[in-house]
Amino acid sequence: METLIRAEKIIKKFNHHETVLKGVDLSIYRNSFNVIIGSSGSGKTTLLNIMAGLLRPTSGKVFYQDLEVTSLNDSQLSKFKKHEISSVFQNYLLLPNLTVAENIRIGISQSNKALPFKDITEMLGIDDILHKFPSQLSGGQQQRTSIARAIIKNPKILFCDEATGALDEENSLRVLKLLHLIKKQYGITIIFVTHNLKIADTAERIITMKDGFIHNDRWNENPLRADEIRWGISC
Ligand SMILES: Nc1ncnc2c1ncn2[C@@H]1O[C@H](COP(=O)(O)OP(=O)(O)OP(=O)(O)O)[C@@H](O)[C@H]1O
C-alpha cells in the first residue's frame, strides 16, 4: 500500500488552551476510504484541518508523498491546496450570488486536470439545477453541489468534515453512496470525520480518536455497503 499523506508526532495547542492533539501519527493510503470517529472534542476536526493544510500544528510534520506540507510557506501551501486536495464541510460554503454551475466552475478554474463537467453533474444528480442559486436548493442539493465543486478539479484527497451532518437520513445515504462511487471511479482518497457509527461501518478503515490521541485504528474486513445501512443507531 502506498502512503499518500502522513502525519508525524502532531501536537496542537491553541493559545491559552489545553493541548488538543497530543502526538498523533497517522498514515493514509492511496485510494482508500477512511473514517475518523470519536467523541466530541477528541480532536478529529483539528487533525483533519492540519492534514488538509488549513491549520498549522504546534509541532510535528505532515508529508504529502515526499512533500513536507508543514514546511511550506503560505503561497506554496495554497498551491498544494489548490491542486492536490479538496474539502467538504457540514455547511456547504457555496457562494450565494453564483448559480450551481458557476459555483462548480470555481473548482474547474483551479485545475489543469479537471474532470468532465457533465460527468460530474450527472453523477451527483444536479444536472437539472445548474441554473439555480444556493438559496433555491435543498440541503442535499447544496451538499451535492459542494461535492461537485470539490472533486471537479480531480484532487488526490477529499477531506470531509461531517459532510452529512446537516442532512436527513435519505440525503446522508445518497451523499455517502456518492462518496464511495467517487473513490471507486476517480481513485480519490476519502478521509471522512463523523460521529455516525453507521457511516463508519461503510469505511475500509476506521480510526477512533480519544482525548487527542488515536485510540484505535482498524481495517474493516467487511465494510457495510451504503445501501445496507439501517439508520437509528449513532454515537
Ligand atoms: N480555534 C480554537 N481555539 C481554541 N480551542 C479550539 C479551537 N478549535 C478547537 N478547539 C478545541 O479543541 C478541542 C478539539 O476540537 P475538535 O473540533 O478538533 O474536536 P472534534 O473531535 O472534531 O469535536 P466535534 O466532534 O465536536 O466536532 C475542543 O476542546 C475544542 O474546543
Q: What distance in Å separates the CA atoms of residue 67 and residue 18, rounded to the nearest whole number?
A: 30
Residue 110 is predicted with a pLDDT of 63
Residue 226 backbone zone (phi > 0: left; psi -120 to 50: alpha; other: beta): alpha
**Residue 216 backbone phi and psi in degrees, to 5:** -155, 145
Strand arrangement of the beta sheet that strand 59-64 belongs to: 19-29, 3-13, 59-64, 67-68
Tell whether 24 is covered by a domain. Answer: no
Determine the number of helices (DSSP H) and then strands (DSSP E) in the chain.
Answer: 7, 10
Distance from residue 10's CA to the centre of ligand 1 (Å):
15
Q: Atom 16 (ligand 1): residue with closest C-alpha? A: 43
* pLDDT mean by block of 10 residues, the chain; 235 residues: 96 90 97 96 96 96 96 94 92 94 85 89 95 95 94 95 88 90 95 92 96 96 81 51
Q: Atom 9 (ligand 1): residue with closest C-alpha? A: 46
* Residue 133 belongs to domain spanning: 31-55+73-228
Tell whether 176 is covered by a domain. Answer: yes
Tell whether 20 is covered by a domain. Answer: no
Distance from residue 203's CA to the centre of ligand 1 (Å):
23
CB–CB of 185/207 below 8 Å? no
Tell whether 67 is covered by a domain. Answer: no
In DSSP terms, 88 is beta-bridged to 160
Q: Which atom of ligand 1 is nearest to the CA of 12?
A: 12
Residue 234 is predicted with a pLDDT of 45
Tell whether 81 is covered by a domain. Answer: yes
Distance from residue 43's CA to the centre of ligand 1 (Å):
6
Tell whether 117 is covered by a domain. Answer: yes
Relative to beta strand 213-219, strand 33-38 is unpaired
**Residue 42 corresponds to which cell in the numbers above?**
477528541
CB-based contacts of 48: which residues, under 8 Å, 6+ apart?
36, 159, 161, 191, 193
DSSP-based three-state secondary structure for 2:
coil
Tell whether 4 is covered by a domain. Answer: no
- Select from 16, 17, 160 the residue to mutate for testing ligand 1; criterion: most ligand atoms less than 8 Å from CB: 17
Residue 233 is predicted with a pLDDT of 45
- Select from 12, 16, 20 the residue to mutate for testing ligand 1; criterion: most ligand atoms less than 8 Å from CB: 20
Residue 231 is predicted with a pLDDT of 67
Residues with CB under 6 A from ligand 1: 14, 17, 20, 38, 40-46, 195
Tell whether 121 is covered by a domain. Answer: yes
**Counted domains in the chain:** 1
Residue 229 is predicted with a pLDDT of 76
Distance from residue 45's CA to the centre of ligand 1 (Å):
7
Predicted complex ipTM: 0.97
CB-based contacts of 99: which residues, under 8 Å, 6+ apart?
130, 131, 132, 133
**CATH label of the domain that carries residue 45:** 3.40.50.300
